[in-house]
Amino acid sequence: MFEIGAKFDDGWSSDNRKGKKKTTGTGKPLPPGKHLLTLSREKRRGKWVTGTGPFHLRKEELQALLKALKRELGCGGTLREDRLELQGDIGTALRNALERRGYRFR
């Protein structure tokens, strides 16, 4: 493979993750009224998961929104790329909570 004392060109890089993009935190953050969110519901391991997104916010703002929603709705949740995933079948409550904050849905 490589020999001891091998010389590498300046263009060589061992990082093979250059092509991957992070969607959260890229571009300009949008105000809540400019978002067009979708609501999804799926079953994982016999339990319901409610997802919403895509959000165009900085990662810190998105984590703060997730924390406030978890506290308000009394459930657990996580941040997946530019979407929020909350535990339970809480689609209407989640939609109402986000609409009170000024977000719009398709």
Residue-range domain boundaries for the chain: 46-105
- What is the rounded distance in angstroms from the CA atom of residue 22 to the CA atom of residue 50? 22
pLDDT above 60: residue 78? yes
- CATH number for the domain running over 46-105: 3.30.780.10
User: Which is it for strands 83-87 and 47-53: parallel, antiparallel or unpaired?
Assistant: antiparallel
**Phi/psi of residue 23, each to 5°?**
-85, -30
Average pLDDT over residues 5-9: 63
More confident residue, 8 or 39: 39
pLDDT above 60: residue 21? no
In sequence order, the β-bridge partners of residue 103 are none
Condensed to tens digits (0 to 9), the pLDDT of residues 23-51 reads 454 568 888 888 899 999 999 999 999 99
- What is the rounded distance in angstroms from the CA atom of residue 13 to the CA atom of residue 40? 40
- What is the rounded distance in angstroms from the CA atom of residue 92 to the CA atom of residue 90? 6
